Amino acid sequence: MGNTQPRHHQIIIHAVLGIGAVIMVAPFIWQILTTFKTVTESRAVPPTILPAVWSIAAYERFFTSVPLWSLLGMSLGVLVVRVGGQLVLCSLAAYGFARFRFPGRGLLFGVFLVMLMAPSQLFLISQFDLMKSLHLLDTLPAIAIPGMFSAFGTFLMRQAFIAIPKEFEEAARLDGANSWQLFWRILLPMTGPTLAALGVLTSLYSWNDLLWPLIVASNKHMTLPVGLSLLQGQYGTDYPTLMAGSLIASLPLIIVFVILQRQFFAGIASSGLKG
């Protein structure tokens, strides 16, 4: 749709989008304002918009009760291992499914798809038992490993490989490239946007995961959501502290997102282009 409409069209569009954007952002603004209130003020009826006195006590309470840097480090470490592992594993498998013919391919791919539809809580106990028999309990790999294997990721990458015209491979094969070289040097770089999308989505899952890290690791391997959950137990009704904690825990990903938003969007968009 061209940019040819009259000016008042633009104003109406901005008004509609603006109202929507305010609804989207308002909870965050409210959260930030609450962090500077006292506990009593946060429960005032009717609520005050701006804090009567700006106080940073909630942040002090948060920082004294939560080892932020250790949580952050752990969350980040898990994210890197999980995303890295998943990108490698999923693209290898996806290439196999997309470009090779072998007995049982349809069945195996079907198995991958079924796993996509099962709720993750179902796997908790067996995955825990497996991590135990591998002597990995209470380690960073234990938190990261199950998330490295993804049916969704394989599906997404397979779509990306299928979309690449065969001519690229034929030409390279004539030049004597083997399957690995084809995959690594030619095809994988061409799936860049999908790879980025998968990285983005996996980062989100990894950052947000609560139950699995909690069950498989103990204090020294606590991730941010686990720390936040601990905070909720400790400060159940102290909304300023809870709001401060959840703001700080979400902030790293929000900052990364705002800086890399172009890549974020390109990646996520590419995941939906081929249904």
Partner 1 sequence: MAKGGVAAERRRPHSHLREATVGYAFILPALVGIVALYLFPLIKTAYLSFTKTGVFGDSTFIGGANYANLVTDPTFGTALRSSAIYTVIVLLAIPISIVIAALIAQVRHGATLYRIAYFLPVVTLPVAVGMVWRFIYNGDFGLLNALLSLIGIDGKAWVADPTVAIFAVSAVGIWTSLGTAIIILGAGLQGIPQDLYEAASLDGAGPLRQFRSITLPLLTPSIFFVSVLSVIGSLQMFDLIYVMIGRNNPALSQSQTIVYLFYQKAFVEGNRGYGAAIAIALLLIIMALTAIQFRLQKRWVFYG
Partner 2 sequence: MKTQRRTARLLAVSTRAATMTASLAACSGGPSTSTSNTGSEQVTLTYGVWSQEETMQKVADAFEKANPDIKINLQVNPWTEFWTKLQVGAQGGTAPDAFWMLADHFQIYADGGQLLPLDDAIKDANIDMSVYPEALVNLFNYSGKQFGLPKDFDTVGLWYNKAMFDKAGIAYPTTDWTWDDVKSASAKLTDQTAGVYGIAAPLNRQEGFYNTIPQAGGEVITKDGKSGYSDPKTQAGLQYWVDFIKDGNSPTLQQMADTEAVAMFENEQVAMYYGGSFYAKRFYDNEALRAKVDVTELPAGAKKATVINGIQNVGYAQSAHPNELKKFLIYLGSEEAAKIQAATGAVIPAYTGTQKAWVDSMPDFNLQSFMDSTAFSVPYPVSKNTAVWNEYEMTELTKAWQLEESVADAANALSTQMDKALTEEKR
* Contact status: 72 vs partner 2 (CB under 8 A): no
Contacting residue, 6, 106, 176, 189, with partner 1 by CB under 8 A: 106
Structure tokens at 273: 């282009």
Which residues 118-137 are close enough to bind partner 1 by CB under 8 A? 118-123, 125-127, 130
Binder of residue 261, out of partner 1, partner 2, none (CB less than 5 to 8 A by kind)? partner 1
Contact segment (CB under 8 A) with partner 1 among 11-19, 50-58, 59-67, 136-144 equals: 11-19
Binder of residue 54, out of partner 2, partner 1, none (CB less than 5 to 8 A by kind)? none
Binder of residue 263, out of partner 1, partner 2, none (CB less than 5 to 8 A by kind)? none
Nearest Cα neighbor of 70 from 230, 204, 223 is: 223
Contacting residue, 3, 4, 64, 178, with partner 2 by CB under 8 A: 64
3-state secondary structure of 5: coil
Are the beta carbons of 241 and 62 closer than 8 angstroms? Answer: yes
Distance of CA 92 to the CA centre of its chain: 21
103: alpha, beta or left? (left if phi > 0; alpha if psi -120 to 50): beta
Structure tokens at 29: 């603004």
Contact segment (CB under 8 A) with partner 2 among 130-138, 170-178, 185-193, 249-257 equals: 130-138
* Contact status: 55 vs partner 2 (CB under 8 A): no
Q: Output the smallest distance, CB 233 to partner 2, in A.
A: 4
Q: Output the smallest distance, CB 234 to partner 2, in A.
A: 8
Which residues 49-88 are close enough to bind partner 1 by CB under 8 A? none
**Distance between CA 127 and CA 131 in Å, rounded?**
6
Q: Output the smallest distance, CB 68 to partner 1, in A.
A: 14
Q: Which residues contact 66 (CB under 8 A, 6 or more apart)?
A: 227, 230, 231, 245
Contacting residue, 230, 253, 260, 268, with partner 2 by CB under 8 A: 230
H-helix segments, the chain: 7-35, 39-42, 57-65, 68-99, 105-117, 124-133, 140-148, 151-162, 167-174, 179-181, 188-190, 192-208, 211-216, 224-234, 239-259, 261-273
Are the beta carbons of 261 and 179 closer than 8 angstroms? Answer: no
**221 or 244, CB closer to partner 1?**
244
Contacting residue, 169, 181, 190, 263, with partner 1 by CB under 8 A: 169
